[in-house]
Amino acid sequence: MTTFLIPIKSIISRFIKRRFNRWLKRRIPPASKHTLSNRNIFIMPTRFGYAYLIFVVLLFLLATNYQNNVIMLLSYLMASLFITTMMHSFYNLSGIVLSADNKAAGYAKHNISFPINIISPNKRVDLRFCFDSQQPTHLPKTVKGDQTVYVSCHYENRGVYLPGRLKVSSEYSFGLFITWTRIDFDHQCSVYPEAITLNNNQNSFTGSSENSAALDESFLEYKPGTDDFFELKSHVLGEPLSRIAWKQFARGQGLLTKHYQKQEGTIRWLKLTDMPNHGLEKQLQYLCFLVNEHNYAGQIFGLDLGNREIKPAQGDQHFKRCLLELAVFKGPQA
Amino acid sequence: MIKGNALLFKRNISTQNAWALWLCQILTLSLLINELTGWMLAIIALCLCWRTLVFIKPTQKPHRILLLLIACSGCIAIAITGKQLGVLLSMLHLLCFAYALKSLEMNSRKDFYQIILLGIFILASVLIFSQSLLISLFVFCLLVLNLSILLAYFYPTTNIKKPLIKSTNMVLQSIPLAIVLFIFFPRLAPFWEVPSSKSAQTGLSESVTPGAIANLARSSALAFRVKFLTDIPQYNQLYWRAMVMDDFDGRTWKQSKNSHGFNRGKRNKLSGDIPKLIGDKTQYQVMLEPSYQHWLFSLAVVDKNQLVSNQVDTLTLSNYTIKSRKPISQTSSYEVTSFTDSLLNSPLSFDERRTNLHIPSDNNPRLKAEGRRLQLKYTDDIERAQAILDIIREDDYHYTLTPPLLSGNGAGHELDQFFYESKKGFCVHYASVFTFIMRASGTPARLVTGYLGGEYNKQSGHLSIYQYDAHAWSEIWVNDKGWVRVDPTAAVDPERVESGLSDTIQQEGLFNNDLLSLYRYKHLAWINSLRLQLDALDYQWTRLVLSYSSKKQYDLVTQWFGHFKSWKIGGIIGGALILMMTIMWLVNIKKLKKKSLDKWLIQYQQVLTILKNKGLEKPITMPASQFSIVVSQHFPLLNSKFSAYSQCFEALMYQELSTAHREQRLNEMNQYHQQIIKQLKKV
């Protein structure tokens, strides 16, 4: 009987959820800026809130049975407080203005934060921010004015995700009510493969047959000390900060970037087929590591994934493009 | 999610909050010190002490198994003593035990919620035992404290002060609706029988033995209050009847079985023969303090049909007293209409006559002889009574609250000893002797106990009757008049009967029960007026809150809204709810608006008005930056400052600045403002 009912139950709950989401889409359409008001705030008693109500009824019964007017007054006061709390719970959220960019990126198995800008008309208390099935971020209080909260997302696998609606909730004043809103910033999250360190001492790596020469060559460069300092050039926007010659900067010679002899002129192709054969995901993770390393070193590099290819280049934009390619790559056959 | 909650819990319950909770627990439990047994208090003290140890060293938390063991053994102990304690006290013990023990086991948010609700429930149960204004206020304060501890859990400060202010604020906002609910929400009859509290009985005792107590320790505790709806009778007419004692065994006066039983045939109740009620009626409301006894107080003769009470199940007896079917365990009230001029002349049955003439043989022989002598001398009952009173008045008798013990030169001679030897005593002595002589002389007589008089409080116009107003007097049966009240105390100490105990006698009777009572310092004028003021306050509390009943509710609704209809009640409560929510809504909107009207805005307006007075008005559509150019043309002196000032204004007005930036701008704006004002004054 019950086993028969479970699928029906889940169908009904899914149906309700879908209807609710559709309704929500009409009610709170996606936007980059949301002002919380009675249009988009929901209030429900928490489990403690229901327990509290039962408790008030219990007090009322006690008062009636003893015909005790003071206990009765106490129970009415607590019932009235329930309403007051509801109003205050609402005020705690209403009037807050939230805005956010809709894009964020990060690595799989790492926390990716979405900065959310909050403009609070006055001090607000106990706010929680959370994407569906993600860790909540707790903001104990807001100050009057604006501030930024970082809401984190965590994904196990690479890809492009839509974290969905951001739930902003609060149990402020006594935890009797949960006041919440689900606002849509149209968030999009690019999740790059987790970078896994690849070093040439790995057995599998030496066992690689045909491309060993090419591999040796490509990995030699990342041994420390092999790069010789060549010259200082004036800083171009997009070059990694780690390569800025801070000493010269301190002397007032302006922003200069250190350049190394070996990198000049050498173009590296990072090929999927060159990666040790540990399955596609592993290979992409190695590639991600290499892309990071190359970018850090200021090296010009290209990405070859077999059926997809990114021409060699340098700089932040190129770096992001490569990572995104790794994130969405479907496989050599696709 | 659960993990997250646990994390939240540990972060939020700050040390100060935990201490506040601890303090709150102690205060709550201290309200029940009189109700809890010694061993339970010891266990509670132990738990709370252990809690302080945990504060100092969090590792010293008791092990779970140990806690379980303590909990089990405590429950067993309560179960064993359950019979002795009664149901109500057992439950109370269990609650308090759980409350104290729970403080040692606070691991999650759920535990925290439980301890708060448990605390509030215990506060509610304190009110079963006492509903006085003082206790109620104390309970209210502790409720607020409990709530602020709960609020502090969600509050970003470690300090308890702000949550305390906030929760007080919220509770105060909730009061109007609570009052509306209290006044209008339908009042229901008890759903089921509940165990009542069984405390030690206070007030009058059910039997009187003259001479057994040497020192009448009288207390200044309140017995009951009376609000007269008609004129207040003279002090010496305020004989509040409680018990009629007609059974005398030679030493002790008691109520005879057939006069104080509840349902012993119609004969005992007035239902058979309603007394003729004549004269003016005296209407009053009696508000009783809990005495844990059945006796109710009234002036004779009570009109049975106008005896109204919701809290007391009253019963009218044939001896012109009224009583409650259940012991009075909480402050309760009833309304009485008495006809004080009526005669107490319901016919005396043969059995009653015999009881009221009964004297044990070889008891107090000298008094008996005196009775027989007077019987021969005066045939008229009234004349004979007058003769006895004359003896008491003229002979060397003294009224004192500290009479010598009457050992009785052998059993059954106590009254002889008092009347012929010691000649010192209080009301019970004189009333006993008088009743005895009347019986010996062949007139049915009996002893009546109750209270005499009462203190009139001018501020609220009510009468307070204290325990020291307790009194005993006699009634004799006169054939065509019925029971006639005779108070022999009036013969020995007229002041007692006319206006209460005299000061010297008051000093004699040690109020050793209540050293702290303000009554002890009655002779200091300001303390006395303070005492009367507090009494008036407590009286209003009793009248308005404690004695509010469904009848009063009905009267109120019909008086204000016409016919009593349930939809009207619904409308009133719904209306109040909507009104409260609307007011809160408006207040919030106003608050937000007020917040946005900042100092800098006001300052800018100020400068604009000064400029306007100088003949330069800013058109509404002109932007501030443009206006600054206009100003610089008119007042070249202001030039640079005013344009910077306008820039600040525009930045604050239209740009979304970060907090630090905003602060900086505000500071600049303020500085420019001062300078501009100064310069404008010079211009």
The two most distant CA atoms of chain A are separated, in Å, by 95
C-alpha span between B269 and B261 (Å, rounded): 10
Contact state of A87 with B581 under an 8 Å Cβ cutoff: yes
Of A146, A167, A192, the residue that ends a domain is A192
CB of A140 within 8 A of CB of A172? Answer: no
Chain A residue numbers with beta carbons less than 8 Å from the beta carbon of B151 are 173-174
Question: Which residue is it, tokens 């040790």?
Answer: A276
Of the candidates B48, B54, B463, which has an alpha carbon nearest to the alpha carbon of residue B225? B463
Identify from B10, B91, B120 which residue to disrupt to test chain A contact, counting A C-beta atoms within 10 A and taking the largest count: B120
CB of B210 within 8 A of CB of B424? Answer: no
Residues A161 and A211 in one domain: no
C-alpha span between A271 and A250 (Å, rounded): 40
Residue B413 has a pLDDT of 83
Q: Does A137 reside within a domain? A: yes
Residues A60 and A104 in one domain: yes
Contact state of B170 with A173 under an 8 Å Cβ cutoff: yes
Residues A164 and A210 in one domain: no
Q: Pick the residue from chain B with its C-alpha nearest to A144.
A: B659
Nearest CA to CA, how far is B549 from chain A (Å)? 9
Nearest CA to CA, how far is B657 from chain A (Å)? 7
Specify the length of chain A in residues: 334
B677: helix, strand or coil: helix
C-alpha span between B321 and B297 (Å, rounded): 7
A289: left (phi over 0), alpha (psi -120 to 50) or beta: alpha
Burial (0-12, 13-18, 19+ Cβ within 10 Å), B378: middle
Give residue-wise pLDDT tens across range B282-321: 999 999 888 888 889 999 888 888 888 877 888 888 888 8
Chain B residue numbers with beta carbons less than 8 Å from the beta carbon of A48 are 113
Q: What are phi and psi of B604, to 5 degrees?
A: -65, -40
CB nearest B191 (choices: A64, A70, A147)? A64
Chain B residue numbers with beta carbons less than 8 Å from the beta carbon of A174 are 147, 150-151, 154
Of the candidates B324, B284, B184, B329, which has an alpha carbon nearest to the alpha carbon of residue A67? B329
Q: Does A246 reside within a domain? A: no
Span of A213-222, B113-122, B200-209 with lowest mean pLDDT:
A213-222
Q: Does A243 reside within a domain? A: no
CB of A126 within 8 A of CB of A91? Answer: no
Alpha-helical (H) ranges within chain A are: 2-27, 47-66, 69-93, 203-207, 212-220, 246-250, 280-297, 316-328
In B329-365, which positions are buried (b, 16+ CB within 10 angstroms) versus exposed (e)?
Answer: bbbbbbbbbbbbebbbbbebeeebeebbbebeeebbe
Domain ranges, residue A216: 203-227+262-328
Nearest CA to CA, how far is B485 from chain A (Å)? 37
Contact state of B178 with A91 under an 8 Å Cβ cutoff: no
Q: Does A247 reside within a domain? A: no
Q: Pick the residue from chain A with its C-alpha nearest to B175.
A: A77
CB of A112 within 8 A of CB of A189? Answer: yes
Residues A173 and A212 in one domain: no
Q: What is the ipTM of this complex?
A: 0.77
Q: Pick the residue from chain A with its C-alpha nearest to B137.
A: A70
Q: Report the percentage of chain B scoring pLDDT > 90.
A: 24
Domain ranges within chain B, ordered by starting residue: 2-184, 207-525, 552-596, 599-682
Q: Is the peptide bond before B301 cis (omega within 30 degrees of 0)?
A: yes
Of the candidates B607, B5, B303, which has an alpha carbon nearest to the alpha carbon of residue A128? B5
The one-letter code for the residue type at B309 is S
C-alpha span between B562 and B508 (Å, rounded): 56
Residues A138 and A267 in one domain: no
Query: Could you give the C-alpha distances from A170 to A88, A140, A324, B36, in angstroms and in order?
Result: 11, 10, 35, 41
Contact state of A71 with B124 under an 8 Å Cβ cutoff: yes
Residue B305 has a pLDDT of 83
Give residue-wise pLDDT tens across range B367-417: 999 999 999 988 888 999 999 999 999 888 888 887 888 776 666 788 888
Span of B137-151, B335-349, B624-638 with lowest mean pLDDT:
B624-638
Residue A154 has a pLDDT of 87
Residues A79 and A162 in one domain: yes
CB of A34 within 8 A of CB of A40? Answer: yes
Residues 6 or more apart in contact with residue B292 via CB below 8 angstroms: B197, B198, B199, B200, B201, B202, B327, B328, B329
Residues 53-72 of A with CB under 8 A from B: 55, 58-59, 61-72
Residues 6 or more apart in contact with residue B609 via CB below 8 angstroms: none
Residues 131-150 of A with CB under 8 A from B: 135-136, 138, 140-141, 143-147
Nearest CA to CA, how far is B150 from chain A (Å)? 6
Chain A residue numbers with beta carbons less than 8 Å from the beta carbon of B170 are 81, 84-85, 88, 173
C-alpha span between B110 and B395 (Å, rounded): 77
Contact state of B194 with A65 under an 8 Å Cβ cutoff: yes
Residues A207 and A185 in one domain: no
Q: What are the structure tokens assigned to A35, written together?
A: 């002002």
Nearest CA to CA, how far is A57 from chain B (Å)? 12
C-alpha span between B404 and B415 (Å, rounded): 12
Residue B2, pLDDT > 70, answer: no
Chain B residue numbers with beta carbons less than 8 Å from the beta carbon of A43 are none
CB of B364 within 8 A of CB of B412? Answer: yes
Residues A38 and A107 in one domain: yes
Chain A residue numbers with beta carbons less than 8 Å from the beta carbon of B166 are 173
Chain B residue numbers with beta carbons less than 8 Å from the beta carbon of A175 are 109, 113, 150, 153-154
Burial (0-12, 13-18, 19+ Cβ within 10 Å), A202: middle
Of the candidates B481, B457, B469, B599, which has an alpha carbon nearest to the alpha carbon of residue B539? B457
Residue B10, pLDDT > 70, answer: no
Q: Does A10 reside within a domain? A: no
Residues A184 and A112 in one domain: yes
Q: How many domains does chain A have?
A: 2
Any A CB within 8 A of B175 CB: yes
Annotate B387-408 with DSSP letters as a single string: HHHHHHHHTT-EE-SSPPP---
C-alpha span between B182 and B65 (Å, rounded): 46
Q: How many CB atoms lie within 10 A of CB B47?
A: 22
Q: What are the structure tokens assigned to B73, written together?
A: 């053994």
Question: Which residue is it, tokens 């949960």?
Answer: A178
Span of B85-89, B437-441, B521-525 with lowest mean pLDDT:
B521-525
CA angle A173, A176, A178 (to 5 degrees): 85
- State how beta strands B398-399 and B424-425 pair: parallel
Mean model confidence pLDDT for chain B:
83
Q: Does A40 reside within a domain? A: yes
Identify from B170, B197, B328, B582 which residue to disrupt to test chain A contact, counting A C-beta atoms within 10 A and taking the largest count: B170
Q: Pick the residue from chain B with its C-alpha nearest to A132.
A: B1
Q: Does A55 reside within a domain? A: yes
Q: Pick the residue from chain B with its C-alpha nearest to A117.
A: B658
Residues 281-310 of B with CB under 8 A from A: 310
Any B CB within 8 A of A293 CB: no
Q: How many CB atoms lie within 10 A of CB B143?
A: 22
Of A165, A192, A219, the residue that ends a domain is A192
Annotate B75-91 with DSSP letters as a single string: HHHHHHHHHHH-HHHHH
- Spell out the per-residue pLDDT of chain A, length 334, in tens: 556 677 888 889 899 988 988 888 888 888 888 889 888 899 999 999 999 999 999 999 999 988 889 999 999 999 999 999 999 999 999 888 888 888 888 888 888 888 888 888 888 888 999 888 788 888 888 877 778 888 888 888 888 888 888 899 998 889 999 999 999 888 888 888 888 887 654 433 333 333 434 444 444 444 344 455 555 666 666 666 666 666 676 666 666 676 654 444 567 788 888 788 778 888 888 888 888 888 888 888 888 888 888 888 888 888 888 888 888 888 776 5
Q: What are the structure tokens assigned to A230, written together?
A: 């060549």
Q: How many CB atoms lie within 10 A of CB B229?
A: 11
Residue B622 has a pLDDT of 75
Residues A146 and A221 in one domain: no
